[in-house]
């Protein structure tokens, strides 16, 4: 698989392949103060990952990159990092990084720079631990709706480490009330909150705790199709993963498991 890293080093490989392998091995394997996130595009077309660090957190790559089909990139994130990553589709940008994405758009910018994606968008969320308390939390969320399949899992597995995923194309079976279409094609599936815009469906106001906010019919549908993803705000029991691994793979359009 061609990587962004390897593409940048190709001119030097013929001069010193051993040095190239040494540098790549170090970059991919030996980052210890935090974690490594390996973003892989397994889709048949380009994906533009959007990245948003939580308040006070650094945002890698200015919040946005392009991954062609089959490409991957490695992100080093510091300990205690928390944030979200989502895939954007159908994007066109000019030489200044300005344009538009059909899904997950962040104000028409290639580099989101502190902006989240416009829902519906499938979101990977995480909160990392520290070197002294290296327990990392991560999930795939459909609370903001769905635009493409995605998964997150530790490299090499680990004791108690789960796979967070929605590896099925929900757009194929999205209820008509939740569909987002362009030229007759379903490109996204809204969450009940996004579609209904009410406290009952968004778990806000008088419905802001697990006792009063219950999963809707749509949330049950999402959960049946993607059991390893958050289907609504308080879907913690079967959706939040914990792991002590230091490297994780986030795959857009992962193979169904």
> 141's torsion region: left (phi>0), alpha (psi -120 to 50) or beta?
beta
Domains identified in the chain and CATH numbers: 31-169+235-252 (2.60.110.10)
Cα gap 120→224, rounded to integer Å:
19
- What's the pLDDT at 26? 40
Q: What is the pLDDT of residue 222?
A: 96
Q: For the chain, 257 residues long, give each residue's pLDDT as a single digit of tens.
A: 555 444 443 443 344 444 334 434 444 444 456 899 999 999 999 999 999 999 999 999 999 999 999 999 999 999 999 999 999 999 999 999 999 999 999 999 999 999 999 999 999 999 999 888 889 999 999 999 999 999 999 998 777 799 999 999 999 999 999 999 999 999 999 999 999 999 999 999 999 999 999 999 999 999 999 999 999 999 988 899 999 999 999 999 999 87
Task: Tell me phi and psi for residue 186, to 5 degrees.
Answer: -75, 120
Q: Which two tokens stand for residue 104?
A: 């997950």
pTM for this predicted structure? 0.85
| Residue 3: per-residue pLDDT | 52
**DSSP β-ladder status, 34-41 and 247-252:** parallel
């Amino acid at each position: 698989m061609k990587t962004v890293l390897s593409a940048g080093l190709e001119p030097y490989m013929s001069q010193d392949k051993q040095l190239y392998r040494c540098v790549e091995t170090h970059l991919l394997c030996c980052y210890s103060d935090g974690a490594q996130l390996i973003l892989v595009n397994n889709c048949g077309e380009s994906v533009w990952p959007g990245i948003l660090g939580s308040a006070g957190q650094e945002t890698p790559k200015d919040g946005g990159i392009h991954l062609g089909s089959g490409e991957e990139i490695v992100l080093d994130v510091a300990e205690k990092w928390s944030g979200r990553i989502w895939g954007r589709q159908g994007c066109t940008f000019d030489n200044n990084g300005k344009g538009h994405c059909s899904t997950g758009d962040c104000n028409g910018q290639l580099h989101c720079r502190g902006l989240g994606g416009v829902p519906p968008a499938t979101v990977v969320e995480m909160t990392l631990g520290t070197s002294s308390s290296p327990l990392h939390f991560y999930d795939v969320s459909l609370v903001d709706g769905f635009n493409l399949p995605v998964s997150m899992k530790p490299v090499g597995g680990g004791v108690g480490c789960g796979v967070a995923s929605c590896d099925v194309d929900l757009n194929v079976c999205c209820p008509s009330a939740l569909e987002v279409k362009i030229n007759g094609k379903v490109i996204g599936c809204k969450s009940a909150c996004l579609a209904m815009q009410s406290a009952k469906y968004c778990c806000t106001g008088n419905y802001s705790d697990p006792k009063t906010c219950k999963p809707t019919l749509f949330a049950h549908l999402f959960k049946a199709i993607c059991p390893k993803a958050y289907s609504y705000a308080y879907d913690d029991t079967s959706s939040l993963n914990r792991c002590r691994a230091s490297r994780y793979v986030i795959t857009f359009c992962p193979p169904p498991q």
